[in-house]
Structure 1
Amino acid sequence: MDFCAIDFETATHERNSACEMGICVVENGEIVKTQTWLLKPPSFPYFNPRNVAVHGIYPDDVRDAPTFDEIWHEAEEMMYGNLMIAHNAGFDAGVLRSCLDYYGFYKPKLNYLCSISIAKKSWKNLGKYGLKNLAEQHQISFNHHRAGDDAEVCAKISLLAFQNMMVTRTDEVHDVLRKNLKVL
């Protein structure tokens, strides 16, 4: 089982305003690396107060941070050839697409899944499938709404769900969740 879990935090409602990116790499069913980057968004120094209230990242925190285009090649290398999973994947895939468009990068052909769909297929009738609720259900503590922590919890939840569904290889994910699979 190989995949990467990804998460973004944004400075504004604009999808290209990533101010933090986290990637958690899973190889052979084990988390091997989690990386987090603070990013200076195109909107800098403006951050919407509502976004700050969610993630706690302020303009001063990213004043000397790289922009997305300065870290993309490193991030892309971590993601290369992997299935991408995100919690509420439509949002994170949208942020990735918008950042790539904004900086003029080619969009890689990446298959992605939403860990909400994975969780719903694995644990029916939970009632709530938010990342925080799923983490609590599985006694996983984390710093919610920080990209690296959210990406790592997404990976852990996905691994537990795959285990529950007896999915042990990446190619089996395609068979079991084919209708949920999207392309970036």
Structure 2
Amino acid sequence: MDFCAIDFETATFERHSACEVGVCIVQNSQIVETKTWLIKPPSFPYFNQRNIDVHGILPSDVKDAPTFDEIWYEIEELMYGTLMIAHNASFDAGVLRGCLDFYGMFAPKLNYLCSIQLAKKSWNYLPKYGLKHLAEYHDIKFKHHRAGDDAEVCAKIALLAFEKLFLTTNDEVADYMKQKIKIL
């Protein structure tokens, strides 16, 4: 299995307001790297208080951070040619699209899959499928709502789900989840 897990935190309710991104790279079913970037959003210095209450990132944390367009090529290089997985993927794909659109950048041809859908197929008896609940169920400790930690937990959940479903290759995942895989 080769894929990347991605997670965004946002400064406001605007999709292009990413203030942090985390990417976890999985190669041969092993986590090989997790990277996190703080991002200065276009709304800087404004952050919505509700967003701050969720992730704890303050305007002062990103005052010297690069903007999304300054780090995108490094992120894209990490993700190149792999399946992207995110927990509540419609949100993270929407933020990625929003940031790319805001800066006038082309979206890569990228397939993505929601780890919630994967979890529901793997553990259809659970009462909740939030990242925090799945992490607790699998005894995975992490700092919730920080992009790097969330991306890495998403990758771990996906790997556990693939194992439970006996999926060992990207082609098998594509066949099994074909209706759930979307294109960015």
Same fold (TM over 0.5): yes
Deviation at 1:124, TM superposition (A): 0.8
Alignment deviations for residues 63-100 of structure 1 (CA, whole Å, 9 cap, x no partner): 00000000000000000000000000000000000000
Structure 2 SS opposite 1:178: coil
Structure 2 SS opposite 1:91: helix
Q: Give the aligned partner of residue 86 of structure 2.
A: 86
Aligned CA RMSD, in angstroms, stands at: 0.3
2:137 is equivalent to residue 167 of structure 1: no
Measure, in 2, the Cα distance between the counterparts of 1:11 and 1:77. 25
Q: Give the aligned partner of residue 12 of structure 1.
A: 12
Number of aligned residue pairs: 184
Measure, in 2, the Cα distance between the counterparts of 1:47 and 1:179. 36
Deviation at 1:125, TM superposition (A): 1.8
2:147 is equivalent to residue 147 of structure 1: yes
Note the 1:131-142 alignment, pairs <5 A. Answer: 131-142=131-142
Alignment deviations for residues 110-167 of structure 1 (CA, whole Å, 9 cap, x no partner): 0000000000001112010000000000000000000000000000000000000000
Which amino acid in 2 is paired with 1:9? E
Q: Give the aligned partner of residue 71 of structure 1.
A: 71
Structure 2: state its 5+ residue gaps: none
Measure, in 2, the Cα distance between the counterparts of 1:160 and 1:168. 11
Structure 1: state its 5+ residue gaps: none
Note the 1:100-119 alignment, pairs <5 A. Answer: 100-119=100-119
Structure 1 SS opposite 2:154: helix
- Normalised by the size of structure 1, how large is the TM-score? 1.00
Which amino acid in 1 is paired with 2:54? V
Q: Give the aligned partner of residue 124 of structure 2.
A: 124
Over the matched positions of the two proteins, sequence identity in percent amounts to 71
Measure, in 1, the Cα distance between the counterparts of 2:86 and 2:35. 15
Measure, in 2, the Cα distance between the counterparts of 1:123 and 1:151. 20
The structure 1 segments of at least 4 consecutive aligned residues displaced by more than 4 Å after TM superposition are none
Which amino acid in 2 is paired with 1:80? Y
Note the 1:20-35 alignment, pairs <5 A. Answer: 20-35=20-35
Measure, in 2, the Cα distance between the counterparts of 1:122 and 1:73. 34
